Structure formats: structure tokens, C-alpha cells
Structure 1
Amino acid sequence: MAFEGKTVLITGGGSGMGRLAARNLAAAGKDVAIFDVNPEGLAETATGHTGIHHWVVDITDENAVHQAVKEVEEKLGPIDRLYNCAAIMPFGKILEHDAGVMKKMMEINYNGLIHITQAVLPGMVARGKGDFISFASMAGLLPTMLTGGYSATKAAVAMFTEILYHENINSGVRFACVCPPTTNTPLLNQGKETAWPKMLDQGTLLDPQDVLDAIDKGLEKGKFWIFPNRDSRIGYLMRRFAPGLIWKQVHQVEGF
């Protein structure tokens, strides 16, 4: 494992990618703090893992985030690695999608990142070390229809994290912006229960462990952008050099 630190903080640790990362790191002997709004999910993640400590935290509440981070550092010590996994993913046509739902997505997926960044990163920069990991998505780089609200939040995450990295490029902190394609986590159910794009059935469903492994490999190689498989790397290049072809395929697949 590339990570040699002691203390990890994971937002969205009550399920999915956050849960898997927490259990992996606890099994490796790390002290892991997990944040989520779901107390049952937090407890389930921690079951059988004495190294996992959980806090019920609403990532959209700036004061609550700062207070919880303070408690983590008082209990476990300085945070050496941060995974920002907290997100929701309901889909829908923009003109048909509830405005409140889209605003809530931005509150959690993007504003939550702002809060956790300002609570955790200054300490890493002051110590001159740490790993800062943002979860964007290929949905934030490679557009398709029916994902407008969600894709906008992940585009914001990607841009925010890229600028953050360059503003702190000589700080000693390692940054990674992870852009997974469709990955087999419970988050997919939110999309499937709302308006699932046919385009998301075109590629291979990625295993979440492959995403986490790609993060460690990328950090060791000094990579900022983490594209966990061949499809995501090709998608990134297509978006840069042939955006018209992408949209042509989207319209053909979706049928409108």
C-alpha cells in the first residue's frame, strides 16, 4: 500500500466506496474516521473493525464539519489522508428535474468538498505532508443526457480540485482527482431509480476495489488525474479531441 501515514478521514463512509476504503485501511492497521449522515450505515461499516471510528456529520453543515474534524484530530491525531466520497446521484432531464434535488446535489457533492477541504487541508499544508483525494467522476468530464444536475456537481469538483492542487503544488501534500466510470456501488441505485441513461450501460461496470487500487498507484507515480481503467482514459481523450463524436453517439444511443 502506498499510504504510510496513520490517520485517515473518509466522508461518505456509511456505504459504497467510502465503506470499502475504510475497511481496507483499518485492516492495514490505520486509524480511520468516517463521516456520514446515516448512523446505521456508519455502524455497519465499523462492525468488526476496531480501527474505524464514526461520526454522524452533515457534510453540508460547515460548522459541524469543522467541529467533527477537530474531534477526530483530538482523538486520533493529525489527518494524514482524506477521501472525499460523500455524494448523491439522482438523475433526470434538466427541465423535468426538481430544482431542490439538483440544489441538494450541489450542496452535498460540491459544497461538502469545500467544507471538508477548509477543515482538513490547512493542517496538511502546515505539516508539509498528506494525501488529499477528491472523487469527481467521468460524468463530470464526459457529458451525457439525463445526468445534468449530477454531472455539473462533478465538473465543479474536478475544477475545484485541479485549482486547489496548483495553488498548493509545492506544499508537500499529494493531490488526486479520481474520475471513475460507472462503478458497482449502491450509488448507482439512485440513478436507476430516477432516470437511467442508456449510455451508462455501454461500458464495463468497474469494481470499486479497482478504483481504490488505482488511487494508490497514481499517488505513488505523482499523478493528479486518476482514470481507473482503459475506458475512462479513452473517454478523457475523446472529450478533449472529439467532443462532436461523443455527442453524436449519445444522441444515437439515447434515441433523442
Structure 2
Amino acid sequence: MSDTPTLPLAGRTAAVTGAASGIGRASAEALLAAGARVVLVDRDAAAVQALCAALGPQARPLALDLLDAAACAQLLPRILEAGDGRLDVFHANAGAYLGGDLVDHDSSAIDRMMQLNVSVVMKNVRDVLPHMIARGSGDIVVTSSLAAHYPTPWEPVYAASKWAIDCFVQTTRRQIFKHGLRMGAVSPGPVVTGLLADWPADKLAEARAAGSLIEPQEVAEVILFMLTRPRHITIRDVVLLPTNFDL
């Protein structure tokens, strides 16, 4: 008899959108470490293929542009093809950001962000639900934001998209729990991702030292916590605040 402990997600298949960088990459790495095979979905084919090559055979690349309606509609069958015919965990993480004054944004940028942050998430969840319902089990986690819980005046378009998607998560959760499915949102404050790429290095280091930023791996740890609760427990929404970040 082996004394080796079983990893909490051993034998399960997960898929993460926007997986080539930031929170998506950290989530995929955490899921792999917990024993899952993971389909990493990203529009950057070269980046996601290189990442999967580095992460090992349990990481499966899926290059797909979710803003392309035809490609988006193929998400589930392509996940099942890459993930050995099953999907147990879906992390809807892909998103875009617009900050600053509303009058400074053109309509095409607003349309793109709202489509990716809201419509694509809704369509992706809609498409994976029948598979999970038929199996009688599954977990859906959506990357939301602190902006979903506070009317942040410096990012009205982004905040509106996250308020919308947080409502979607909480209402859909009430529809699907009877099928044995769980659904929740993770809502972090400022996270060190590509969105901060233009910050001066000294300012970034200062903010980290002050405890006013969150690392992607810290968000991933919370996602893993949500997924590894007993099945009768649903973590419906987690808000992560940097210690020195107050609203």
C-alpha cells in the first residue's frame, strides 16, 4: 500500500482561458501542481505552446481567439479533444482592461472590452454547462475584480463589466447547484500582471514592499482553495485586498 498522498485534483481536467500570462498562467500552474491535466486557452499560440512545453505533458495548449465568434463556439469541443474527453473545472479568466475617463475611450475599445469581459464569459459558461450537467459534477470559477464591489471612479467601463459579470456568476450559481455544480468568482484588487507593464521598476518595487499589490500566484492559491472544498461547500465569492489598499 502506497503512503504517497493523492493530489486533490488528480484525474480531473481543467481549462483556463487567458492562460499564457498573469492570473491565468498562475491558475494553470496551481491546477497542474494539484494533479489536474490542464488545457491552457489563449489567443497567443506561440506563447501558450511554449508555456505548455515548459510545464510538461499534463499541460495542453489550445490557441483560440475568443473574440472570434466562430472560434469561440468551438471552445468546448476543442477542450474535450485536448483534455481527454472530459472537463471538470472551467476557469473563465480571459479579460481586458480600460482605465481612465470615459470620454477618453473610443467606442470600439469599449465594445471589445465589454464583449471579452461579459459576453464571452457568458457564452463560454453556457457552452460548458451541458457537459458538466450531464456528468452531475463540475466547478466554474470566473475572474472578477474588486471593481465589481466598489464604484471605482477611475475605471467606469471596466468596473461596469465586472459588476455585470459578478451578477451573472451569482445568478447562474443559483440555477446550477441543483445539478451538482458549483460556481464562484474571485475578485482581486491590483494584481502584478501585464497591466502594470508600463510602471517604472522602482515604483513597482515600492508598491510591492508597501503591500499594495497582489501577486498572480496569490490569486491562484485562493482559486485552488475554492476548488478543493468538500462538495457540499461552495465558495461563492472571494475578495482579495492588498493589505495597504483601502477604499
TM range (shorter): 0.7 to 0.9
Per the TM alignment, residue 45 of structure 1 is displaced from its structure 2 partner at its CA by 2.1
> Given the alignment of the two structures, is residue 217 of structure 1 paired with residue 238 of structure 2, yes or no?
no
Q: Provide, for residues 208-255 of structure 1, a one-character-per-residue CA deviation record: whole Å limited to 9, x for no partner.
A: 2221212232341422011235769x97xxxxxxxxxx6xxxxxxxxx
Per the TM alignment, residue 170 of structure 1 is displaced from its structure 2 partner at its CA by 1.6
> Given the alignment of the two structures, is residue 70 of structure 1 paired with residue 70 of structure 2, yes or no?
no
Which amino acid in the other structure matches residue 81 of structure 2? E
Which amino acid in the other structure matches residue 66 of structure 2? I
Which amino acid in the other structure matches residue 67 of structure 1? Q
Q: Provide, for residues 107-165 of structure 1, a one-character-per-residue CA deviation record: whole Å limited to 9, x for no partner.
A: 11111101211221221112110110011100121122221111111111101111110
Unmatched 5+ stretches in structure 1: 194-199, 236-245, 247-256
- 1:30 corresponds to which residue? 36
CA distance in 1, matches of 2:77, 2:157: 32
Once the two structures are superposed, the pairs formed by residues 128-147 of structure 1 within 5 Å of their partners are 128-147=136-155
Aligned length: 228
Q: Provide, for residues 54-82 of structure 1, a one-character-per-residue CA deviation record: whole Å limited to 9, x for no partner.
A: 12212123431232320221342210001
Structure 1 or 2: more helix by fraction: 1
CA contact (8 A) 2:176 2:182 kept: no
1:111 to 108, 119, 131: 119
- Structure 1-normalised TM-score? 0.79
* RMSD after superposition: 2.6
CA contact (8 A) 1:5 1:80 kept: no
Q: Provide, for residues 173-228 of structure 1, a one-character-per-residue CA deviation record: whole Å limited to 9, x for no partner.
A: 121111111111223348x69xxxxxx99972112222121223234142201123
Which amino acid in the other structure matches residue 77 of structure 2? K
- 1:50 corresponds to which residue? 57
CA contact (8 A) 2:62 2:78 kept: no
CA distance in 2, matches of 1:218, 1:117: 18
- Structure 2-normalised TM-score? 0.82
Q: Percentage identity across aligned positions?
A: 27
- 1:3 corresponds to which residue? 9
Unmatched 5+ stretches in structure 2: 1-6, 201-206
Once the two structures are superposed, the pairs formed by residues 71-90 of structure 1 within 5 Å of their partners are 71-75=78-82, 76-90=84-98
Query: What SS does the aligned partner of 1:170 have?
Result: helix
Once the two structures are superposed, the pairs formed by residues 1-256 of structure 1 within 5 Å of their partners are 2-48=8-54, 49-75=56-82, 76-189=84-197, 204-219=212-227, 220=229, 221-229=233-241
Which amino acid in the other structure matches residue 39 of structure 1? A
Which amino acid in the other structure matches residue 185 of structure 1? T
